[in-house]
């Protein structure tokens, strides 16, 4: 399930899908929202928001992103244990997001999730390590 606007052409470089990542009691929480840039025409921005809401894409993307979080939490824990800094991890997560964006687009749920993980200091500092299987 992805946004499909039929005849409306969207830029492949203007991100409008945002994933906000926080950590509560050691568990990552991912909230998706649509935030079109000013470059997106008003009628397209309105349609984006309507599709996102009517198709309940926030919930769908969130479920997919939780799987990705499990993988990335393990990666973060291992890299921190090997001496990487949160800044190193932020750079790497942004690089991974770029790889996904090159194939799927900047508004793919996974690309947005990786950017969200990178933007969360809690996430890249290892605050989710208690969430890992023992």
pLDDT at position 1: 44
20-39 confidence digits (pLDDT tens)? 999 999 999 999 999 998 98
Q: What is the CA radius of gyration of the chain?
A: 16
- What does the pLDDT read at residue 134? 60
For residue 40, what pLDDT is reported? Answer: 84
Q: How far is Cα of residue 13 from the mean position of the Cα atoms in its chain?
A: 15
C-alpha distance across the termini of the chain, in Å = 33
Report the distance separating Cα 55 and Cα 126, nearest Å.
33
In angstroms, rounded to a whole number, what is the distance separating the alpha carbons of residues 33 and 44? 15
- Give the contacts of 128 (CB within 8 A, at least 6 positions apart): 23, 26, 27, 28, 69, 73, 76, 77, 122
**Residue 2 pLDDT exceeds 60:** no
Average pLDDT over residues 114-134: 88
- Looking at the predicted structure, is the pLDDT value of residue 46 above 60? yes
**Residue 96 to residue 82: CA distance in whole angstroms:** 19
pLDDT tens profile 52-108 = 999 999 999 999 999 999 999 999 999 999 999 999 999 999 999 999 999 998 999
Written in H, E and C, the secondary structure of 70-88 is: HHHHHHHHHHHHCCCCHHH
Task: Please tell me whether residue 15 adopts helix, strand or coil conformation.
Answer: coil
CA–CA distance, 111 with 5 (Å, rounded to integer): 19
| Winning range, highest mean pLDDT, from 1-15, 20-34, 39-53 | 20-34
pTM for this entry: 0.89
């Amino acid at each position: 399930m992805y946004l499909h606007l039929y005849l409306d052409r969207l830029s492949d470089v203007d991100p409008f899908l945002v994933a906000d990542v926080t950590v509560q009691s050691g568990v990552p929480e991912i909230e998706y929202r649509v935030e079109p840039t000013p470059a997106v025409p008003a009628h397209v921005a309105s349609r984006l928001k309507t599709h996102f809401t009517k198709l309940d894409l926030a919930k769908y993307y969130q479920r997919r992103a939780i799987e990705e979080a499990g993988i990335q939490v393990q990666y973060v824990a291992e890299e921190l244990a090997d001496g990487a800094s949160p800044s190193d991890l932020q750079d790497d997560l942004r690089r991974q997001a770029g790889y996904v964006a090159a194939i799927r687009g900047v508004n793919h749920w996974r690309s947005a999730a990786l950017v969200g993980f990178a933007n969360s200091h809690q996430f890249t500092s290892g605050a989710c390590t208690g969430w890992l299987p023992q």
